Structure 1
């Protein structure tokens, strides 16, 4: 007496693909599964992968049966059915499969979730560009903003980022980095709307990134070229040398934003004088507070201390001392 071997349970494959990767760029396991499947199903007639599957000779049925029907089909002869899901998935099918699997009344086929493509590092930046583009077109406030109108927010967000760094709050740091990034993407999107009149040439976030990439490669010849830099000091010297060639400045003061905080401005000027090998004495002592602060800033910079950071740390400590006195009962509203 012979015993018939049980039928193979079959296989249901839910194939996902990242919308941030160009359609058709599927993994080799995904292509193998698609070509070997008994049925390939997709309910979305506009799914971006369909033209590429047809080009590869894969027949795709433009519907997805119910979970019961799909399980019955795969159980009959151990067939394989691949369901090409949309970005949101197929809740009807997955809920139905979960229901059947939990009932313990049906021999379930093997269920597999197969990623056909994965996000590359930085892929969410593509989503950010798309979201910003839609906001620029559809939001009454955002659609009217200009570079000049947003300038103050760039300053505010930069200070909030510095505060998060100094506080050591990584959750806040993550959020503030996003706010700074928003300023970059927002300004780049505004620049796309330039008319080209009055030398106002349009550019996009891709142009911004391309300019930055070129700059980074050019200023890191020890990474992308044949130069050697063994220490951080070597790297800084290379950076300053290549930057000087790029800018062709007539003065070491060019490129220093005069609108930055006065203490940071004084330290930056002193730094440029020192790195430029210049011998420029400080202005004559007029006995005023400004000269004293300038002297302190120059001395701090020469000693390797950022005076702006040092003063901010001292001010934060002073703020904490004030709060401590208030909490001890020494504060009363006028």
Structure 2
């Protein structure tokens, strides 16, 4: 602790903030320096997760919730007081200090906001996992859900995401991405309870991280890829080695929309260098198959093109009804 003289000035207040998403005790070096140099360390929350670690490190922490005036008085004589902030960030205290400073009648200590730990990108995902844990345990509906029962919602949310993308609605896009993310977290939470083959959200994330790194040696390894085509070629080659498939059609979901299915099969055949004539037959199905294959060979996603054209047709119907089309939609599908 520092020894301060009465004539040393109004002192210093350090408001130390921490993130509950970072393991307790993992503090920045400036935070530890401030704690060790302080004349007093205060915390209003006796159950603050950092307190056991601070005390283990030899930091004397007083459980106190001073008013703004009391805190200013504690800094008299040039003393430094560190306040370990609670999760709310001590708004009452900081507002009180602001009011005191505004009067102009008080010699105010120097005030420093010092982040002792802070969130990294993606930290809010931890909140989602925690919320999902509680909902699964306490919600009568969520606690009874199964993979099979939730499957339809996964399809619905994917379609709603596509609709938000096509509409160009940024706010809706953000919301729909969250709904899709919820499906991933919900299914992962349910999977933890499987009696024979459980896995968690960490296993899901770890698996996709390993896959991405393995399939991007031009980013994480020594291979070179200068064009998107080279990247795609390596991706397909690596995927084939991983899956060891006997047919290029393996892994193509037959339950997807028909145009998308036809285009995917045509793409697999073309990429593999297979010259497979389209089946001959009568009826709209064969015609659509030929159109989908032609679109794929031209680099056009037939499903996306048809959806765009259908939206324009939808707008034409609305105009015929005397209803204005959505101005954000109805773009040319070409």
After TM superposition, give the deviation of residue 43 of structure 1 in Å. Answer: 2.1
After TM superposition, give the deviation of residue 275 of structure 1 in Å. Answer: 1.0
Other-structure match for 2:255 = 259
Task: Tell me: CA distance 1:271–1:109, structure 2 relative to 1, closer, same or farther (3 Å).
Answer: same
Other-structure match for 1:15 = 16
Structure 1 Cα separation of the partners of residues 226 and 95 of structure 2: 58
Structure 1 Cα separation of the partners of residues 108 and 129 of structure 2: 43
Other-structure match for 1:183 = 183
Q: Deviations over 1:172-223 (max 9, x none)?
A: 1111111110110000001011122xxxx11000000011011111111111
Other-structure match for 1:211 = 207
Is the CA contact (8 Å cut-off) linking 2:7 and 2:78 kept in structure 1? Answer: no
Other-structure match for 1:63 = 64
The one of 266, 269, 272 equivalent to 2:268 is 272
Structure 1 Cα separation of the partners of residues 70 and 225 of structure 2: 66
Other-structure match for 1:227 = 223
Structure 1 Cα separation of the partners of residues 8 and 217 of structure 2: 64
Is the CA contact (8 Å cut-off) linking 2:15 and 2:83 kept in structure 1? Answer: yes
Corresponding residue SS for 1:327: coil
Other-structure match for 1:38 = 39
Structure 2 Cα separation of the partners of residues 7 and 53 of structure 1: 28
Shifted more, 287-296 versus 236-245: the winner is 287-296
After TM superposition, give the deviation of residue 90 of structure 1 in Å. Answer: 2.9
The one of 301, 305, 312 equivalent to 1:317 is 312
Matches within 5 A, 1:49-128: 49-75=50-76, 77-128=77-128
Is the CA contact (8 Å cut-off) linking 1:64 and 1:83 kept in structure 2? Answer: no
Corresponding residue SS for 2:311: helix
Other-structure match for 1:327 = 322
Number of matched residues?
Answer: 319
Structure 2: unaligned runs, 5 residues or longer: 1-5, 325-334
Other-structure match for 2:303 = 308
Other-structure match for 1:202 = 198
After TM superposition, give the deviation of residue 98 of structure 1 in Å. Answer: 3.0
Structure 1: unaligned runs, 5 residues or longer: 330-334
TM-score (norm 2): 0.92
Q: Which contiguous aligned blocks of 4+ residues in structure 1 show a shift greater than 6 angstroms?
A: none
Corresponding residue SS for 2:321: helix
